[in-house]
Structure 1
Amino acid sequence: MNDMRLMERAVGHDIPKISAKNVQVHYGDTHAIKDVDIEIPSKMVTAFIGPSGCGKSTFLRCLNRMNDTIDSCRVRGEILLDNEDIYDAKVDPVQLRAKVGMVFQKPNPFPKSIYDNVAYGPKIHGLAASKTELDEIVENSLRKAALWDQAKDRLNQPGTGLSGGQQQRLCIARAIATSPDVLLMDEPCSALDPIATAQVEELIDELRENFSVVIVTHSMQQAARVSQKTAFFHLGNLVEFGETNQIFTNPDDPRTESYITGRIG
């Protein structure tokens, strides 16, 4: 059985989960992302690194059409999720965001109970036929986010009453409650202390069993710890993309080496 699973995983890894070709992003007259081509693998953690303002978060937000909410933003090129064009006119961005969940920089629980934070997505997308099914989804999501033990006796209390690290895990539980294929994380630990950061990093490693994870991080150490693939962005360009070990120990591009050794940043 294990051999079969390994074979399935090996075959699955050959087919990209997300494939982007010639992606351009403009904010008004500013050309923020230039000619980006990338294939993001299934069931792995892919890290986007690079200096502030290099375009990594802008590109991340292209992957679930969050940039649609910015009037001055134009996205061109092709982004396929499981071989389907997410910018096709027939695609409903709300349904897309159920498939491509997102966790933001600062924990942002809704001003609702812990239970309602997690139940919100499954409710609006009609994923639970009964209260029992909804209870199961909430429990499973909190378990996957390593929060069930702390939250199970206070499900009716506000999510905002949790600690910072727990709030971020609640936001992860909320994002995975709709059973997405992909989980996007935009600097998910930047507002957390070192202990909470370590807990979220451990969680990210577990999540790749079930999800394709893409994380933007300003911490190269974090990228090295949690990801299998790393993309380095600089001035709106995707400079280099490859195995994380190779990017950090033997990069092909001198700009990548300069960033990793601290000469640019």
Structure 2
Amino acid sequence: MSVLLSTDLPFPIFRRGKVRDVYDLGKQLLIVATDRISAFDCVMPEGIPDKGRILTAVAAYWFAATEDLVPNHFRGNLGWPAAVEPYREALAGRAVVVEKTRPLPVECVVRGYLAGSGWKEYQTHGSVCGVPLPAGLRLADRLPEPIFTPSTKAEEGHDENISFEHMAGLVGADLAARLRDLSLALYRRGAELAAQRGILLADTKFEFGLSDAGELILIDEALTPDSSRYWLADSWAPGKNPPSLDKQFLRDYLETLADWDKQPPAPHLPEAVIQGIRARYLDLAARFDIQI
């Protein structure tokens, strides 16, 4: 199967992320989801077939399912500019034209269950990203209430967990409170709809931007298997990691590599791992009746 690892279109680059190539079209952006995949903030040498199309379709589903909570960058049904039309067929299913915003310099993370780096911190400090939690919680336990744990947004290198107070210093107290409240509302919507399909939304992250008029807008992606941790509800049991429909499968494999220190260059991926990731992403999309 072919994969798309990079693009080189004749438009100014707005930014290249770990997965998406974003082009500047003036008042609009062209976002192309490649098949790149990252873990521990490192981009893997191999891509995942169909990944960009899956992410684009899943994100579109969630933008539509949450637009009553917060505007997103798809608003206005922006059409394809004439300059982009010659590339439409080649980019089918993996590219979207959206409203340009000024991205905020934070990632808005919400955790509803104890997992990943949060579990590691809890074992040592009894907290997650500085948020105190009750004693006696187990791996994969549901938290008493979802918690908001922001981080910095690094284009290269590792994101860094920060306190809410630190975030308020970066974006202002009022905007920080709005970001927290919206992120929690979006997580609860996602968790509710996922539960109807036998899936637990363990945690997720959102990104926001400001329009020219100063309006807060949800951007980038929303509730995709790249940005979220999804567990199968019927296999969930506190005390162990449940089977997931996200890139935890990749992280678990990488954790077995004693000779990789989680710094670039990333190791090559076996074909079984590549296909395992693809199967999980497709499974998640199918459970929401999302056509790829």
TM normalised by structure 1 equals: 0.26
Determine which structure has the larger helix proportion and give its number.
1
Which gives a bigger RCO, structure 1 or 2 (Cα 8 Å, sep 6+)?
1
